[in-house]
Amino acid sequence: MTEKEKQQAGELYNGGDKELTADRTNVKKLCMEYNSTIYNDFQKRDRLLTRIIALKGENTVIEPNFFCDYGYNIIIGDNFYANHNCVILDCAEVIFGDNVFIGPNCGFYTAGHPLDAETRNSGLEYAKPIKVGSNVWIGGGVSVMPGVTIGDGAVIGGGSVVVSDIPAGYVAVGNPCKPVHPVVK
């Protein structure tokens, strides 16, 4: 089994593998080009996003600067907006539903490292998928950790660190992020 196959299967893998390094290098070049595109050249930005991201729906806007690890593990629904400085470490799948709005300086981190120093120092890592439902609003400065699911209609307060699943229809805040009350219409 290749390191990439191990990564995609959710097993420990060597992130320094040549194939994975080449994949990261290729997408980082595309991200660099995306981030240096003239702001109002929306067609070029859209073409680049189509090359970077595995699947994106209609009306996808990601403000520069945007960074990801692979791109081929990112799936975005319709009507997606991410403000400046979005980071998606997509060593595993990161799936966003429809009508997702993300504030500035947010990160989605599927990558993790073993707690055991000897294993961690050997270069092995793991990845767990992240899923963000539809009609979700994520405030500025939010970090979403490996393996988290955020339910449909949730609102995540700015500055939160999401380390466990958030149920659908709840406002959640804090570090660690916790549901505080249902979303009120």
- Tokens 């729906």 locate to 57
Which of these is catalytic: 4, 113, 128, 178? 113
Look-up: residue for tokens 């981030």? Answer: 35
Separation between Cα atoms, residue 124 and residue 132, nearest integer Å:
27
Q: Tell me: the pLDDT tens digits for 129-156?
A: 999 999 999 999 999 999 999 999 999 9
Active site residue 181: no
Instruction: Give 6-43 pLDDT, tens digit per residue.
Output: 999 999 999 999 999 999 999 999 999 999 999 899 99
Q: Is 172 exposed, middle or buried (0-12, 13-18, 19+ CB in 10 A)?
A: buried
Q: Shortest CA distance to 145 belongs to which of 100, 94, 99?
A: 94
DSSP H or E stretch at residue 47: helix 42-52
pLDDT of 184 higher than 90:
no
Query: Does the pLDDT at position 45 exceed 90?
Result: yes
Residue 57 has pLDDT above 90, yes or no: yes
Closest of 86, 120, 121, 91 to residue 101, by C-alpha:
86
pLDDT tens-digit map of 90-134: 999 999 999 999 999 999 999 999 999 999 999 999 999 999 999
Pairwise CA distance, residues 58 & 82, whole Å: 14
Beta carbons of 160 and 174 less than 8 angstroms apart: yes
Q: Where are the domains of the chain?
A: 3-182
Q: Is 117 exposed, middle or buried (0-12, 13-18, 19+ CB in 10 A)?
A: exposed
- Residue 40, classed as helix, strand or coil, is coil
Q: Is residue 14 a contact partner of residue 114, using CB atoms and an 8 Å limit?
A: no
Instruction: Tell me the residue type at 128.
Output: K
Is residue 185 scored above 80 in pLDDT? no
Q: At residue 79, what are phi and psi to the nearest 5 degrees?
A: 55, 60
CATH number of 3-182: 2.160.10.10
**Rounded average pLDDT over 171-181:** 98
Tokens of 145: 């950790």
CA quadruple 64, 67, 68, 70: dihedral, nearest 10: 90
Q: What's residue 154's pLDDT?
A: 98
Assign 173 a pLDDT band (cuts: 50, 70, 90). very high
Q: Which amino acid type is present at position 93?
A: E
